[in-house]
């Protein structure tokens, strides 16, 4: 009984149909939340007592960074599932997660650099946090490139899954880098234990944007999954049925 | 309540405008591309498959 | 679980554990190099190299900033409450540079224990609040 959902994941037509239904309301919700969150962060939050208005970049920088870290676990877990259970959908999810994660990591580095100029006085410093984020970007790009490098795609998937599993060690390092080593980047403001060091009037829009970017990440993953599914199973009966529905 | 008193205040942000607006613009543009790209790819793929499928079918009927 | 899958699961766990252990050992060995800066206490204790390019990080001591009237020269002291190092710098300081605030300076130590900086960066902390809240907090702090 408990395993039926897992077996459904092995059924491509079910995943394709279910993701389509899910996206129909998830994608508009995610887009609306992001647009509202941006307006909230830009115009309707108070400025910071020390940084002034430059801190408004937090509403992009933090959500994008958080999801780029979480997305790595999505990719690694999908890789592990495809290694152990040989689940085709998991293998596709791993491959789809790599470029999305790379773009999010790049956005985190870019917004961080732009924020660094007016606050720290420099765009870039090779401190532990920033350097480990660059490593994350290369891990994402590495998984993506590794898959393309192999002609044998079964072998390619295995190699990518192992690379993403090896890379998971980097995630706690990124998260803890500001506590373990002396760095220019400040420690986290949102704390899981104890009180956050960010005022509620700034915390709520930030949490809102984090949820919004998580939702959008789910949408992007499903969208990529649908393309990959249809592409790789174009010759099957269910794919024909899907295609014939197109006007 | 909007924090800024005027549109020009919102635009300039006491000197931090370029940094903030640049980040939001890049963020929204990149996200838009990331959403539209797979949608566009899926639609193109469906069109291509459908063309191939109908070509196959008309071939079969003409042979009969 | 199927014995074949169980074997694969063990391989997956081994990959994660072994690579984590490897990276953990390397970063433990390199911990000195991963730190971006030396705290003043290490500099005072003579742990920082003299005449080499290093970074110094800490808090700017209250009332220690002395600006030149004719040039961009500035002197201030950096502390971590365990040691204090005087810093000399000539150039534009970041907006957030202030007394009682975090700072990271790049430069080198001279023989007399003075840090000659060629770049000064502001290090801000993890506190975010509106100006009104900060004022209220300060007012409440002064009353006590």
Q: Which residues pair with C79 in a beta bridge?
A: C59, C84
Look-up of token digits 């998937």: A157
Express as a percent the part of chain A with pLDDT over 70.
98
Instruction: Specify the number of domains making up chain B.
Output: 1
Q: Give the pLDDT confidence of C28-70 residue by residue, as tens digits.
A: 888 778 889 999 999 999 899 998 999 999 999 999 999 998 9
Q: Are the Cβ atoms of A219 and B10 closer than 8 angstroms?
A: no
Residue with the larger pLDDT of the pair B34 and B55: B34
Is the residue at B1 inside a domain? no
Nearest residue to C120 (alpha-carbon basis) of C81, C71, C73, C84? C73
Residue C105: its pLDDT value, please?
Answer: 95
Express as a percent the part of chain C with pLDDT over 90.
53
At C129, give phi and psi (nearest 5°). Answer: -160, 160
**Closest partner CB to C8 (pick from A51, A84, A197):** A84
CB atoms closer than 10 angstroms to residue A155: 10
**Closest partner CB to A53 (pick from B1, B20, B27):** B20
Closest Cα in chain C to A56:
C128
Q: Give the pLDDT confidence of A18-73 residue by residue, as tens digits.
A: 999 999 999 999 999 999 999 999 999 999 999 999 999 999 999 999 999 999 99
Distance from CA of A4 to the nearest CA of B (A): 28
pLDDT at residue C130 is higher than 80: yes
Q: Are the Cβ atoms of A27 and B3 closer than 8 angstroms?
A: no
From chain C, the residues in CB contact with A48 under 8 A are 128-130
Residue with the larger pLDDT of the pair B64 and A196: A196
Is the residue at B43 inside a domain? yes
Residue A31: its pLDDT value, please?
Answer: 98
DSSP state of A121: S
Q: What residues make up the domain containing B53?
A: 7-63
Mean pLDDT score, C73-82: 93
Distance from CA of B59 to the nearest CA of A (A): 17
Residue B1: its pLDDT value, please?
Answer: 67
Look-up of token digits 């970049």: A57
Give dist(CA A143, CA A135) in Å, integer. 12
| CB within 8 Å of A116: residues ≥ 6 apart | A122, A123, A124, A125
Q: Which residues pair with C123 in a beta bridge?
A: C102
Distance from CA of A75 to the nearest CA of B (A): 18
Is the residue at B50 inside a domain? yes
Look-up of token digits 């924090």: B3
Give dist(CA A213, CA B37) in Å, integer. 17
pLDDT at residue C122 is higher than 80: yes
**Closest partner CB to A186 (pick from C20, C124, C131):** C124
Nearest 5 degrees, angle CA B32-CA B36-CA B39? 155
Q: Token digits for A40?
A: 């909230």
Give dist(CA B13, CA A119) in Å, integer. 14
Q: Are the Cβ atoms of C127 and A189 closer than 8 angstroms?
A: yes
Look-up of token digits 């009353």: C143
pLDDT at residue C140 is higher than 60: yes
Q: Token digits for B59?
A: 């071939």
* DSSP three-state, residue C123: strand
**Closest partner CB to A103 (pick from B4, B30, B39):** B30
Mean pLDDT score, A162-184: 93
Give dist(CA C33, CA C54) in Å, integer. 11
Residue A211: its pLDDT value, please?
Answer: 98
Sequence length of chain A is: 247
Express as a percent the part of chain A with pLDDT over 90.
84
- Residue A6: pLDDT band with limits 50, 70, 90: confident
Q: Which helix (H) or strand (E) holds A45?
A: none
Give dist(CA C65, CA C58) in Å, integer. 14
At B26, give phi and psi (nearest 5°). Answer: -60, -45
């Amino acid at each position: 009984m408990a395993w039926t959902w897992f077996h459904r994941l092995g059924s491509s037509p079910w995943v394709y149909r279910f993701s389509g239904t899910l996206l129909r309301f998830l994608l508009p919700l995610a887009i609306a939340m992001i647009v509202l969150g941006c307006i909230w962060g830009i115009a309707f939050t108070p400025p910071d007592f020390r940084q002034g208005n430059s801190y408004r970049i937090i509403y992009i920088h933090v959500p994008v960074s958080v999801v780029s870290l979480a997305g790595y676990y999505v990719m690694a877990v999908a890789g592990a599932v495809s290694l152990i259970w040989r689940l085709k959908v998991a293998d596709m999810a791993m491959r789809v997660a790599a470029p999305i994660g790379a773009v999010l990591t790049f956005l985190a580095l870019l917004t961080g650099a732009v924020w660094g100029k007016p606050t720290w006085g420099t765009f870039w410093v090779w401190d532990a946090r920033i350097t480990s984020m660059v490593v994350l970007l290369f891990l994402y790009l590495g998984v993506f490139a590794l898959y393309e490098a192999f002609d044998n795609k079964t072998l390619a998937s295995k190699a990518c899954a192992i690379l993403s599993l090896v890379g998971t060690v980097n995630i706690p390092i990124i998260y803890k880098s500001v506590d373990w080593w002396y760095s220019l980047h400040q420690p986290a403001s949102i704390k899981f234990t104890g009180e956050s060091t960010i005022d509620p009037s700034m915390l709520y829009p930030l949490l809102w944007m984090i949820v919004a970017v998580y939702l959008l990440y789910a949408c992007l993953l499903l969208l990529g999954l649908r393309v990959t599914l249809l592409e790789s199973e174009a010759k099957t009966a269910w794919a024909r049925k899907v295609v014939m529905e197109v006007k | 309540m909007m924090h800024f008193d005027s549109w020009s205040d919102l635009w300039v942000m006491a000197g931090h405008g370029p940094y903030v607006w640049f980040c939001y613009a890049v963020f929204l543009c990149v996200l838009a591309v990331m959403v539209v790209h797979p949608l566009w790819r899926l639609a193109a793929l469906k069109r291509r498959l459908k063309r191939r499928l109908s070509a196959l079918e008309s071939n079969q009927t003409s042979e009969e | 679980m199927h014995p074949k899958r169980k074997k694969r699961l063990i391989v997956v766990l081994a990959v994660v554990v072994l690579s984590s252990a490897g990276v953990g050992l390397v970063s433990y060995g390199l911990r000195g190099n991963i730190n971006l800066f030396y705290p003043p206490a290490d500099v005072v204790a003579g742990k920082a190299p003299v005449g080499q390019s290093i970074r110094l990080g800490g808090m700017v001591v209250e009332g220690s900033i002395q600006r030149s009237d004719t040039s961009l020269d500035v002197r201030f002291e950096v502390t971590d409450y365990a040691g204090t190092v005087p810093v000399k710098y000539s150039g534009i300081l970041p907006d957030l540079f202030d007394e009682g605030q975090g700072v990271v300076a790049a430069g080198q130590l001279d023989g007399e224990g003075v840090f000659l900086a060629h770049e000064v960066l502001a290090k801000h902390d993890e506190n975010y609040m509106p100006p009104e809240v900060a004022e209220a907090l300060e007012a409440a702090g002064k009353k006590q």
